[in-house]
Amino acid sequence: MARITLDEFRKIMETSLPIGLMLGAEPILIEERRAVFRLPFREDSLRPGGSIAGPMLMGLADVVIYAAILGTVEGALQAVTSNLTMNFLRRVPPGPIIAEGRLLRVGRRLAFGEVELFAEGDPEMVAHATLTYALPAPAT
């Protein structure tokens, strides 16, 4: 059972995560330890050469793991990224992106997850990210 619904996460993006809106990231699924997002295509996400710009994918990966953490840990709104490592494996053609994230470790202070990114409809991974988030101290 996820600790947050898709609608609740959309609300968080609207009220306090404008970068999520700026990217246009859409939550498809948020479960305990797992989240999937879709990034619709926008002309202004291209870079020289006509592929999708890296920062769009970095931002997307970051939001996906944040959502997976909110789906798993009570009261983790203040969780913050401490490390992101992203590898770009292929040029990303213009079109929507699917990002599938899962948490591999949820500790008391840190959560660690990985994200696989795909051009929609193509099974070849276009990018891969690992992220560590620092979790807020539990309220007492």
For a second copy, which residue of 5, 40, 47, 95 counts as binding (CB under 8 A)?
47
Among 59, 64, 100, 117, which residue interacts with a second copy (rule: CB under 8 A)? 59
Phi, psi of 44 (to 5 degrees): -85, 15
Identify the helix (H) or strand (E) that includes residue 18: helix 18-23
Residue 2 or 63: which CB sits closer to a second copy? 63
Cβ atoms of 115 and 64 closer than 8 Å: yes
* Binding flag, residue 19, a second copy (CB under 8 A): yes
- What tokens were used for 62? 């970051």
62 contact partners, CB below 8 Å, separation of at least 6: 81, 84, 131
Return the half-sphere exposure (C-beta side, CA atoms, 13 A cut-off) of residue 75. Answer: 6
7 binds a second copy (CB under 8 A): no
Selected range binding a second copy among 2-10, 27-35, 38-46, 93-101, rule: CB under 8 A: 38-46
Which residues form the interface with a second copy (CB under 8 A)?
12, 16-19, 21-23, 43-49, 51, 53-56, 58-59, 62-63, 77-78, 80-91, 104-105, 107, 109-110, 112, 114, 124-125, 128, 130, 132
